[in-house]
Amino acid sequence: MKTQWIVGLIAGALILGFVGGLVGSFAFPAKSPEGDVAKLTERVASLETRVAGITTSGGGLRVGVVDAETLFTRVFLPQVQTERAAMEAKARDIQTLQADYAAGKIKLDAYQQRYLRLQAELIQASLQVNLAMLEKMIASPGFLTLRTDLQSLRTQAQPIVDEVEKAVKEAQVTILDMTGFNERLQQLQTAFQQLDQLLTQVAAAKILEITQQVANEKGYDLVLRTKDVVMFRRESTVIDLSSDVEGRLWALFPTR
């Protein structure tokens, strides 16, 4: 009997999360994970060595692919569609303000005051995206094994929520120390991004888990992530399992 060898979404470091996470690029741009490059290179080299050692004699090697990035976009982002719309609207407000300032329609001091207020409100709106996703994960039976950890994460996130709310209220009046206020916002953005990354990793782990379930049930030996991994595949021999995985992912959120 063939030994079943499942490599879930391997050469793309899925567990590190997807580009943009739940909120996209509306907050600070994500930092480059330079420290993970060497590890990823080692993993890919190891994979190549293992693939080279596989013989396809006998029953042959069953290979599948999964478009994990698209699954994240199609299943998880719609769960927080309303919150994302509010966040995107706030980002557009900032763009409009910047355009008005560039056109000379607003003075520097007024621009700085309003810009900091809108930035605080954008952080709050972005945080709401994550909190909404967190609540849906906690409520979902599909995340039951992680529920205690997710509830703990919600508790740990509360001080961030309180600080952001405090900053938004302070920004409603004249900000006397703009430099200090801006530094506070940067700290809050960093804390918020960590929460966003954690939730994105939870989503990535669930995609990986379900992919492994599908692959095991269907008898696949190898499953690859299509993004940045598969440059060519023969349709008749490499099967796309994305639709099977997507159906089970939607079942995680039965209330929609």
pLDDT of 173 reads 93
pLDDT of 7 reads 36
**pLDDT tens figures, 201-215:** 999 999 999 999 999
104 φψ region: left (φ > 0), alpha (ψ -120 to 50), beta (else):
left
Closest CA to 188 of 160, 212, 157, 159: 160
Give the pLDDT band (50/70/90) at residue 26: low
Give the pLDDT band (50/70/90) at residue 29: very low
Whole-model pTM: value is 0.78
pLDDT of 81 reads 96
Distance in angstroms (rounded) separating the CA atoms of residues 46 and 166: 49
Q: Is the confidence at residue 9, as pLDDT, over 80?
A: no
Give the pLDDT band (50/70/90) at residue 22: confident
DSSP assignment of the chain: -PPP---BSTTTTGGG--TTTTTTTSSSPPPP-GGGHHHHHHHHHHHHHHHHT----TT---EEEE-HHHHIIIIIGGGGHHHHHHHHHHHHHHHHHHHHHHTTSS-HHHHHHHHHHHHHHHHHHHHHHHHHHHHHHHH-GGGGGGHHHHHHHHHHHHHHHHHHHHHHHHTTS--S-HHHHHHHHHHHHHHHHHHHHHHHHHHHHHHHHHHHHHHHHHT-SEEEESTTT-S---TTTEEE-HHHHHHHHHTT-TT-
| Mean pLDDT within 70-91 | 97
**pLDDT tens figures, 133-171:** 999 999 999 999 999 999 999 999 999 999 999 999 999
pLDDT of 6 reads 35
Distance in angstroms (rounded) separating the CA atoms of residues 81 and 136: 12
Q: Is the confidence at residue 45, as pLDDT, over 80?
A: no
Q: Is the confidence at residue 4, as pLDDT, over 60?
A: no
Least confident of 4-18, 22-36, 54-68, 233-247: 4-18
pLDDT of 33 reads 47
Q: Is the confidence at residue 58, as pLDDT, over 60?
A: no
Determine contact, residues 189/28, Cβ cutoff 8 Å: yes
Distance in angstroms (rounded) separating the CA atoms of residues 169 and 128: 16
Distance in angstroms (rounded) separating the CA atoms of residues 130 and 150: 12
Question: Within 13 Å, how many C-alpha atoms sit on residue 11's CB side?
Answer: 19
Instruction: Tell me the average pLDDT of the chain.
Output: 83
